[in-house]
Chains A and B, each alone.
Chain A
Amino acid sequence: MTTAPAISTARGTTAIRSENVCRHYRMGENVIRAVDGVSLHVQSGDFVALLGSSGSGKSSMLNLIAGLDRPTSGTVIVQERDLAKLSREELAKYRLHVVGMVFQSFNLIPSMTVAENVELPLRFAEVDRSRRQSMAHEALERVGLKARLDHRPSELSGGEQQRVALARALINRPQLLLADEPTGNLDSHTGTEIMNILRDFNRELGMTVVMVTHERALAQRYAQRMIFLADGKLMDDRANDPQAVLGGHS
């Protein structure tokens, strides 16, 4: 494993801070309060699970942290950047260099091979072709897919596709890994494999992981903190000891 560690601030410093953040949508006459006054703090190196039922606002909160969306009011500060104040160009750079994202539906580009999908963020970062290829190989080696470099996503299983997505999220060595229901489309065995990789990223590379899930058991097995959302509001924020759930087996 030769992939360089993510550029991470020291464990224990604040990685994410949101203050009374709101994200409201207008649907005709109605106002949808997807996120409604959520304040939370995530320390660098934490593995945090955002839990809640469908429509609770957990994915909307993740999009705000990812810089894909802007809050209607309140602030989201990540690594001392107030995302609401960043321009579209600066937000793109933030997503490129600070954040890695994994989605429930993998979101790989079907017309590209595995290697091309993984090195796509490096094209946006204008990294040289030769360096790009070696970095993509390293990232795919880390997720155990080096043998499938030239395959198309459609030729891979769901678990393999999610591992490609993880390699892509890892490629720019981000400080923050955001995962939106990463096991939602996988069977439990494959889901466990993916979660183990996420945990490895968190432990070995020091990446801060924020994972959205509706599976409480999954959160309990891997997350150090569990934040519960309902109707866009933060309902509970509690520490969790995954070691206890796993019986000290990691």
Chain B
Amino acid sequence: MKVPDLAELAVRNLRESLLRNSLTTVGISVGVASLVAMLSLGIGLQQLASRRLVKSGLFDTIIVSSRREMRGMGREEERNGPIPGESRVLDEPARLEIEKMPNVAEAFPDIRFATEIRFEDKPHLTMISALPESARTNDAFDGMQGGFFSSDNAPEAILQKAFAEELLGKTPPLGAPEPNVAELARPLLGKELVMLYAQRAATPSQPSSGAPNLASEDFVGASYSVVSREQRLKIVGVSDLDPESMRGPTRAKVFLPLKLAETLHVMQQTDLREISRAASDQPVYSSISVRVKNPAQIQVVEDAIKKMGFTTFSIADASRGLRQFFGVLYAFLGIFGSLALMVASIGIVNTLVMAILERRREIGIMKAIGASDGDVKKLFFAEAGAMGILGGMLGVVLGWAIGQVINFGTNVYLKRQSLPPEHFWAVPWWLVGFAIGFAFVVSLVSGLYPAGRAAKLDPVQALRYE
């Protein structure tokens, strides 16, 4: 039988038992709706995460570190390069060389150290990081209370919300709602912090002339000395978001202007390793942040830096991991979403088996006048497929509608929490096609048994059936 004839007969037969077939189709559509809802949530969350990452400006940043930092780590990528101990040192000439590369906007050292901060005579241990002037436009400072540094060498500090909570003793217990950033900022903005730090001096006899607030004793090293110092900092901002979210456990909670941090000559971890160089005027960096002009060029720049003998990390690497994570998430959501469709497929089997019983005589007539087993089988397949396609289309619409309702409801909640609205529900065209196609295939598979059973009916027995 030709396909148009099959389709016509299938639709006619489906119309004959309208209520039962409609209920079966609704069952399929609910299954497809759950599949669409689950997958569109996964896709929406991925898009939301990607949007956040793009807005954060991290997509155009490469973190460069020396292979010497990797000693003993045994990472696969490091095994292929020069021996870490003999590889190039990440110093000022290296930074300048990177900054001159095509497509590089800026390359600035990551000055990062753990130290003690005193606020109202109470000590707090935290990680401190320096920010360049370009960080002013970072998405993480959107909605910040106060403002960015007045200049690149101003003795000012921006606090991350969690540290502000700590300073005020308002760290919420696990699971409790977090205090509002505006409430935290109010008593802190304009107040002074005292940062205690270890300064690296070129020689024990020649302390850095620009170092303020010499505090106490000198530590004589092999070729340089370490001096304990204090720096007073004015709190100018409290940030709600975490600009260093990609840093993991080394992320800072207090931020200083980059130029100020450079002039402080704070003792870095690398200074102990590169002891001879640390004594010179040329600083050695544990890592450098490189901003490229165009995120599309990040891989080219990364490869060029690797050729210089350094190790690189960019969010492009993290986004690969993110894609992998969302791949697994899709699989899980898809499996859970498909469960309802599987249940609906049992409905198709039931409907078609009932149809065989009801239309037993009709099948006998068709066989008596020349229908082959294949014709009968195809007819039942067509009926199952028609229910699948129709159910699939209804399911996509239903899934989309569910998404809109949940999106709306969640945004109402976000608004009440004074948070910006988000669109975390996406039904791309490929998902529409996939859902309908999947419903069609599941329906055909469900039709396998009934169609086979109908095709094998003995025409003589079927014609006797009343």
Contact = CB atoms under 8 A, between A and B. Distances in A.
Report whether chain A binds chain B. Answer: yes
Interface stretch (B77-85, B213-221, B372-380): B372-380
Contacts of A172: 370
Given A111-B16, A123-B1, A126-B2, A92 B463 contact: no
B362 interface: yes
**Interface secondary structure of A, over-half rule:** helix
Contact of A69 (B2, B9, B362, B460): B460
Interface string A88-106: 1100110111000101000
A89 B16 contact: no
B366 interface: yes
Interface in B327-370: 361-362, 364-370
B365 A109 contact: yes
A168 B373 contact: no
Given A68-B368, A123-B5, A126-B2, A109 B373 contact: no
Contacts of B22: none
A196 to B, nearest CB: 23
B463 A103 contact: yes
Interface in A53-95: 63, 66, 68-69, 88-89, 92-93, 95
Interface band, chain A = 20 to 34
Given A68-B367, A111-B12, A123-B1, A88 B463 contact: no
B199 to A, nearest CB: 93
Interface in B3-19: 4-5, 9, 12-13, 16
A96 B369 contact: yes
Contacts of A95: 367-370
Interface residues of B, number: 25
Contacts of B370: 92-93, 95-97, 121, 124-125, 172
Contact of B367 (A92, A97, A108): A92
B372 A92 contact: yes
A7 interface: no
A68 B368 CA distance: 7
Interface string A122-157: 011110010000000000000000000000000000
A112 B365 CA distance: 13
B132 interface: no
B371 interface: yes
Contacts of A120: 366, 369
A69 B459 CA distance: 8
Interface in B246-271: none
Contacts of A125: 370
A179 to B, nearest CB: 12
A232 to B, nearest CB: 15
User: Which of A111, A121, A124, A125 has the most CB atoms of chain B within a 10 A radius of its CB?
Assistant: A124
A211 to B, nearest CB: 16
Contacts of B5: 123
A126 B1 contact: yes
Nearest to B374: A89
A245 to B, nearest CB: 31
Contacts of B460: 63, 68-69
User: Which of B370, B374, B459 has the most CB atoms of chain A within a 10 A radius of its CB?
Assistant: B370
B372 A107 contact: no
Contacts of A88: 372-373
Interface in B74-118: none
A120 B12 CA distance: 13
A169 B373 CA distance: 20
A106 B65 CA distance: 89
A111 B365 CA distance: 13
Contacts of A69: 460
A96 B371 CA distance: 7
A92 B371 contact: yes
A124 B12 contact: no
User: Which of A63, A97, A120 has the most CB atoms of chain B within a 10 A radius of its CB?
Assistant: A120
A89 B374 CA distance: 8
A23 to B, nearest CB: 10
User: Which of A69, A92, A120, A125 has the most CB atoms of chain B within a 10 A radius of its CB?
Assistant: A92
Interface string B8-44: 0100110010000000000000000000000000000
Interface string A7-41: 00000000000000000000000000000000000
A27 B129 CA distance: 92
A197 B362 CA distance: 25
A66 B369 CA distance: 10
Contact of A107 (B1, B2, B365): B365
Nearest to A98: B370
30 contacts: A66-B368, A68-B460, A89-B373, A89-B374, A92-B367, A92-B370, A92-B371, A93-B370, A95-B369, A95-B370, A96-B369, A96-B370, A103-B463, A107-B463, A108-B365, A109-B362, A111-B16, A112-B12, A121-B370, A123-B1, A123-B2, A123-B9, A124-B366, A124-B370, A124-B371, A124-B375, A126-B1, A126-B2, A168-B369, A169-B369
Given A93-B372, A96-B370, 7 more contacts: A68-B368, A88-B373, A111-B13, A111-B16, A112-B12, A123-B2, A124-B371
4 smallest A-B Cβ distances: which pairs? A96-B370, A92-B372, A123-B5, A107-B365
